[in-house]
Structure 1
Amino acid sequence: MDADEIKQVKQKVLEDVDPPTKKKKKHMRRMSWLRTILEFAAIIVVICGLFQIVMGISYVEGQSMYPTLHDKDMVVYKRRQKAYAPGDIIAIDRPNDEEFVKRVVAVAGDTVNIEGGRLYVNGKEREEPWALGETKAVKNGIVFPITVTDGEVFVLGDNRENSEDSRMFGPVSISDTKGRLVWYIGKL
């Protein structure tokens, strides 16, 4: 053993035997743990705040957004985003505490018509590569054509033959929207 190794061994023995040194070392470990716990708590508070104020999470229920989204997919939406464009996927609050995830197909001022299994907006057939199945009006649903008024959007599910959407309950008020989808995760 060289002199440095002997010095380290003596220091270790002294720390194990000397009560003030042992107490100081124990205090330093506690402070390190406390700091780690406080940093972790701060991170959790920031993440929770972010999701309460800026972002939100919703889940897709059923197959109405297939093939784009699947049953039980988790979607993250931006809460402050309330200016929507056709093609945006949004989260919606429904009256009976349900949340829907649907695609905006028309905005304020647009006239929507469904005819012959096709969607027309402002008299032009809407090209929708994401849509699955025919877009048909629903019995006991709204009457077409319909004009979307200010503060509303018209939404449809991508799986047109298996979706509860604006064809049944009409345009959705912007105040009932939660935000625009920015990210999604498949079933966990």
Structure 2
Amino acid sequence: MSDERKERTSGTAVDRRAADFYVYVWNGKEQEGTMRRIGDDRNTVRNYVELAIALVIVCAIMISGVRITFVIGPSMLPTLQEYSWHVVVGVQDPEVGDIVTFRLPDEKFSYIKRIVAGPGDTVDHWGTAITLGEDEYYVLGDNRGNSRDSRAFGPITGEIIWGRLIF
């Protein structure tokens, strides 16, 4: 094969004469008789199978309700570090002590806070005793001095809670 018809790259020589592209494979020197058509190897099929399996796993995780959340702000220090990623799952019956994520009506961002009181509990809300109603929760950030929580917006309902932190 003439030099003007052959392009050399790292470990590959390509014959541009044929209608299809063929690759000569060598280990430091050119080998005769090892010509293969690009894409005609078993790795291509294997790659497609691996991609399909990965997509099925990702879809199954998303359907199951697992989500990833990002903490912005110091309100949950020292439990959750600022700018950290966490795994959240859907929750039906949150319990006192759970770290939950929720979005207030007419708010752009979600919050991540700890439930400190649940339905039927009585809490001291700025000097006033409040008994939480059915499906109401009182949430606080672990960093009490730097947290916008139920002390600012009052108790939240269970229907706006969309997840519980698991990791």
More strand by share: 2
The answer for the alignment partner of 1:66 in structure 2 is 77
Of 99, 111, 130, 1:146 maps to 130
Q: Any unmatched runs of 5+ in structure 1?
A: 1-11, 115-136, 138-142, 184-188
Distance 1:52 1:27 in 2: 34
Q: Does the alignment pair 1:75 with 2:86?
A: yes
Q: Does the alignment pair 1:104 with 2:115?
A: yes
The answer for the alignment partner of 1:49 in structure 2 is 60
Cα offset, 1:54, TM superposition = 2.4
Cα offset, 1:49, TM superposition = 3.4
The answer for the alignment partner of 1:168 in structure 2 is 152
- 1:16-47 CA-to-partner distances (Å, cap 9, x unmatched) read 47xxxx56xx6650x53133123223313422
- Percent identity over paired residues: 34
The normalised TM-score by structure 1 is: 0.63
The one-letter code matched in structure 1 to 2:155 is P
Distance 1:27 1:111 in 2: 68
Q: Any unmatched runs of 5+ in structure 2?
A: 1-30
Cα offset, 1:90, TM superposition = 0.7
Would the aligned equivalents of 1:82 and 1:180 in 2 still touch at CA under 8 Å? no
Q: Does the alignment pair 1:88 with 2:108?
A: no
Distance 2:39 2:77 in 1: 57
Deviates more, 1:170-179 or 1:103-112: 170-179
Distance 1:74 1:27 in 2: 39
Would the aligned equivalents of 1:61 and 1:100 in 2 still touch at CA under 8 Å? no
Cα offset, 1:94, TM superposition = 2.3
Residues paired across the two proteins, number = 136
Would the aligned equivalents of 1:93 and 1:100 in 2 still touch at CA under 8 Å? yes
Would the aligned equivalents of 1:90 and 1:179 in 2 still touch at CA under 8 Å? yes
> Relative contact order, CA 8 A, sep 6+: which one is greater?
1
The 4+ residue runs of structure 1 with deviation greater than 3 A are none
